[in-house]
Structure 1
Amino acid sequence: MSKRRLAATFLQRSGILQLLERSRSKPSILIVNHHRVGDAALTRFDRDVFSASADAFEMQLKYFKRHFNIVAGEELEDLVSGKTPLKHTQIAITFDDGYLNDYTISFPILKAHNCAGNFFLVPQYVGTATVPWWDEIAYLLRNSPKSEITFQSPVPFTINLNGDREQAIREVLRYYKRRDNHNSDQFMNELREQIGCELPQVERRFINWEEAREMKAAGMSIGSHTQTHNILGQMAPEVQRWELTESKKNIEANIGTEIRSLAYPVGIRGAFDETTEHIAQSLGYKMCFSFYGGINTSDHIQPMNLLRMATSRDDLIFRVETTLLSRLGKLPY
């Protein structure tokens, strides 16, 4: 049993969790992020982008509604800017990439519970059967007949495929995300040349503009996830500016409304920097979202770096971590 599970079990059995849940939450914005909702076991691609099953997502939504207020779009922006004072913890739910699951699974659940979500789209993917770099890496490594793969870019690196393939996928994805990986095309070409298998034919994997407009009309918020989903921190400033400008322009043209929010691809430290934040602000973005954990407390809200966390797939850990962050402002581990 993990330390997180042990701590969660202790807090529940001791009654501390229940006491904390009845206490007043801190003035803050807790933003949870998803990429895909559904059954990870059924995918041939990256399983780690699945954060919850449909049932688990609905359970989380019910828990949030019971204990907090859920905000999105302009209501969230007003809290971030200080136009609306923060009096207790507010919840925002975001979805990156624009997978078709957003429309077929997450959107109906949100509508059924009269909740709004924030969806970040990649114009280059909208309405397509694209297999993005993380999904391609996952599929190729899982299905390769080879025992090892060697990369020369950005620095020499060999991955052994004789052991746990899922762990190998995670290691290669971490390597791809390195800030000094300035030639992602070379990286992928090295992988494809050695891997010994090819991607399968797939049907459409991302929502189209008509579906995005339907979601917007139903109260969902639409934002940018850059034009191509390449990692901003690996790019020169002028290329970053193009990514943010093109995505904003294309989404606005197809959705028919101003785009004021941006989720940085990958979102970890190094996937963007202060230069990225300045560019985004100069282009009219009012809220930009990272993804390395944490909660946005009333005395530490950075509109160009709004903290987001992943929700645990363990129901008890989800409940405990939500409660600790909203009451204490941090996790004890």
Structure 2
Amino acid sequence: MGNEVTIVVYHYVRERKTSRYPAINALEPDMFRKQLRYFKKHYHVISLKDLIRALEGESQLPQNALLLTFNDCFSDHYRTVFPELLKHSVSGAFFPEIQPLKEREIILNHKIHHILACAENVPDLVQDLLNLLKQFKEEYDLEDGSHYQQKYSVASSYDPAEVVFVKRLLQSGLDFQLSHKISDILLDTYCDASREVLHHEIYMNDDQIRCMIQNGMDFGMIGYSHKRLTDVNPDQLEYEIDASKKHIIELGQDPSFISMSYPWGETNEAVVSALKKAGCKVAFTSEERIADIQSGDRYRLPRFDTNYFLNLV
């Protein structure tokens, strides 16, 4: 028996060429199936409940244990992932934001994904964004657009500077409500589907989640609205956790096996303390390494992104 577990995290899983928005970075279903076959051959795939029981000292992990986790509330997970997991008699752990389920609101980060996927000319998008900053400058006491460009226009290993500027400004550079307001305007400008249609296409619904739970899947928390839990005040932190926990339990998740996938992969002592108070048993970051449940921190378990395995299958 072992103390280590390889934890894998997935996001979008869809055929890009037949998607309305093929520019969104997604894992192809065929590659997901290949990875699943690879994991079944080389690992012992465990469930979230198996992991928590091992953490509680009620059982032991098998050698080469592996856990599959799926972030966000994507309809991809119901349509594409869920049938494959059932076919292979494998359980996964899913982490849905609750705001899309209760308010039919699109999560800010998903708005940004779709804006960038729809914008054929990124320089035009940047100019539209700068114009909106000017429009809301007095109301929100904003700096000049050049200030934000200098701060956030830095190329990364994945994206050119203009794309990084759009992402970072809307994700964390502005007031949260203003980012939503500007993102809604840009969605309406660039995307050929209404926000209502986009919401329907992007997310699962409560009935689908109930079905998945009834068929052996586990659901955990990723917060109510996917805000950075390290940035919110104590009252907001409590709400993000409690509202998320309450909803998944109402849908059928066993309250003895509550877990958290940190929004943006970030946590601190205040967040961990709030999770313990809420009865959360385990939480996952975005650090990439194998998790050791004996010597590691159960509230800071690392996970590998699915891309780590692309060249192994």
Query: 1:257 corresponds to which residue?
Result: 254
2:164 counterpart of 1:173? no
Say if 1:264 and 1:289, in contact at 8 Å, map to a contact too: yes
Structure 1 residue 171: Cα displacement: 4.3
Query: 2:210 corresponds to which residue?
Result: 213
Residue-by-residue CA offset, 1:8-33 (whole Å, 9 max, x unaligned) = xxxxxxxxxxxxxxxxx974111000
Letter in 2 for 1:81: E
Q: RMSD value over aligned CA atoms?
A: 3.1
Query: 1:116 corresponds to which residue?
Result: 91
2:45 is paired with a residue whose SS is strand
1:93 is paired with a residue whose SS is strand
Say if 1:100 and 1:206, in contact at 8 Å, map to a contact too: yes
Number of equivalences:
283
Query: 1:66 corresponds to which residue?
Result: 41
Q: What are the residue-to-residue correspondences of 1:8-23 with 2, within 5 Å?
A: none
2:21 counterpart of 1:44? yes
Query: 1:297 corresponds to which residue?
Result: 292
The alpha-carbon distance between structure 1 residues 138 and 169, as it changes in their structure 2 partners (threshold 3 A), is: farther
Most deviating of 127-136 and 146-155? 146-155
Say if 1:45 and 1:136, in contact at 8 Å, map to a contact too: no
Query: 2:222 corresponds to which residue?
Result: 225
Pick the structure with more strand per residue: 1
Query: 2:137 corresponds to which residue?
Result: none
Letter in 1 for 2:272: E
The alpha-carbon distance between structure 1 residues 195 and 78, as it changes in their structure 2 partners (threshold 3 A), is: closer
Aligned partner of 2:274 among 273, 279, 302: 279
1:65 is paired with a residue whose SS is helix
Residue-by-residue CA offset, 1:91-138 (whole Å, 9 max, x unaligned) = 000011121111100000111111110011222212876432123223
Residue-by-residue CA offset, 1:154-206 (whole Å, 9 max, x unaligned) = 9931277xxxx96433443244444xx57222234456668992543125131
Letter in 2 for 1:169: V
Say if 2:126 and 2:166, in contact at 8 Å, map to a contact too: no
Letter in 1 for 2:8: V
The alpha-carbon distance between structure 1 residues 147 and 78, as it changes in their structure 2 partners (threshold 3 A), is: closer
Query: 1:330 corresponds to which residue?
Result: none
Say if 1:138 and 1:169, in contact at 8 Å, map to a contact too: no
Q: Structure 2 length as normaliser, TM-score? A: 0.78
- In 2, Cα distance between equivalents of 1:31 and 1:129: 30
Query: 1:244 corresponds to which residue?
Result: 241
2:156 counterpart of 1:186? no
Aligned partner of 2:74 among 99, 105, 109: 99
Query: 1:28 corresponds to which residue?
Result: 4
Say if 2:14 and 2:28, in contact at 8 Å, map to a contact too: yes
